[in-house]
Amino acid sequence: KAGVTQTPRYLIKTRGQQVTLSCSPISGHRSVSWYQQTPGQGLQFLFEYFSETQRNKGNFPGRFSGRQFSNSRSEMNVSTLELGDSALYLCASSIAPGGGNQPQHFGDGTRLSIL
Amino acid sequence: SQQGEEDPQALSIQEGENATMNCSYKTSINNLQWYRQNSGRGLVHLILIRSNEREKHSGRLRVTLDTSKKSSSLLITASRAADTASYFCAGGSSNYQLIWGAGTKLIIKP
């Protein structure tokens, strides 16, 4: 069974631009969660999607948005990029919603660098 | 900001020795999960212990949970070079978001 796939693996952008990251969950998994990982703040929860609906949202500004498609694939978008958005963005999938009560399966992330 | 804390932040031991990492959390949880992250990669789920369990084993891993002290420990026995990684604890809360610690960086010296 293929794991969680995130594309692209690396991305370099400049301030003010916008970016879209993609995540394909494990087949059969309908819940997708997104995290931002930085050395200073650690792993921060962005949002969780299940059946194309956002179920939970972390404490991030509205520049961070996401969506989920009918095939459970998910995208997250960051607009008006800032230097502080440089981070590893991780996607995790699970069979059911409620990411806190079951194991999460992670992709290898997208490394976003803002110049 | 993190709501969980791992201790120590970094640990360096000789191959073959045991490694113990501790995790403390602040809120009530339904379960406590441990993950491993190799450099530049995603996190890999290691073990999940529920709030009504006190100890759980998986291969060379032993996890304990003390809900009265809001703490957990991860013991890796007979460490190997391949165990070199960062280890994170995450508390599963009633609002279904995992609450993550900052991680312990484990280095196994050959």
If one compares B61 and A58, the residue with the highest pLDDT of the two is B61
Output b/e per residue, B10-24; b: 16+ Cβ within 10 A. Answer: ebebeeeeebbbbbb
Residue B94's pLDDT is what? 64
Give A19-46 pLDDT, tens digit per residue: 999 999 999 999 999 999 998 778 899 9
Bridge-partner residues for A56, per DSSP? A48
Within 8 A of B90 by CB-CB distance, chain A residues are: 100
Q: Hey, are the CB atoms on B99 and A100 less than 8 Å from each other?
A: yes
The confidence band for B30, taking pLDDT boundaries of 50, 70 and 90, is: confident
If one compares A73 and A57, the residue with the highest pLDDT of the two is A73
Gyration radius from chain A CA atoms:
13
Is residue A34 a contact partner of residue A91, using CB atoms and an 8 Å limit? yes
pLDDT at B2 over 60: no
Residue B1's pLDDT is what? 41
Q: How far apart are CA A71 and CA A76, in angstroms?
A: 15
Within 8 A of B45 by CB-CB distance, chain A residues are: 103-105
Alpha carbon of B55 to those of A31, A95, B49, B64, B74: distances in Å?
A: 28, 25, 7, 4, 10
Burial of A3 (0-12, 13-18, 19+ CB in 10 A): middle
Calculate mean pLDDT across residues A1-20. Answer: 95
∠ CA A89-A112-B11, nearest 5°, is 60
Is residue A115 a contact partner of residue A13, using CB atoms and an 8 Å limit? yes
Alpha carbon of B102 to those of A64, A65, B3, B20, B99: distances in Å?
A: 22, 24, 9, 16, 10
Nearest to B93 among A43, A100, A105 (CB): A100
Chain B closest-CA separation from residue A74 CA (Å): 17
Burial of A57 (0-12, 13-18, 19+ CB in 10 A): middle
pLDDT at B84 over 50: yes
Calculate mean pLDDT across residues A89-110. Answer: 88
Residue A40's pLDDT is what? 76
Q: How far apart are CA A108 and CA B79, in angstroms?
A: 24
Q: Hey, are the CB atoms on B100 and A99 less than 8 Å from each other?
A: no
pLDDT at A5 over 60: yes
Q: Hey, are the CB atoms on B31 and A101 less than 8 Å from each other?
A: yes
Q: Hey, are the CB atoms on A100 and B91 less than 8 Å from each other?
A: yes
Interface test with B, best of A43, A102, A111 (most B CBs within 10 A): A43
Give the strand pairing for B104-109 and B10-14. parallel
Residue B109: closest CA among B8, B10, B22? B10
DSSP state of B39: T
A–B: how many Cβ contacts below 8 A? 69
Calculate mean pLDDT across residues A71-79. Answer: 97
Residue A102's pLDDT is what? 82
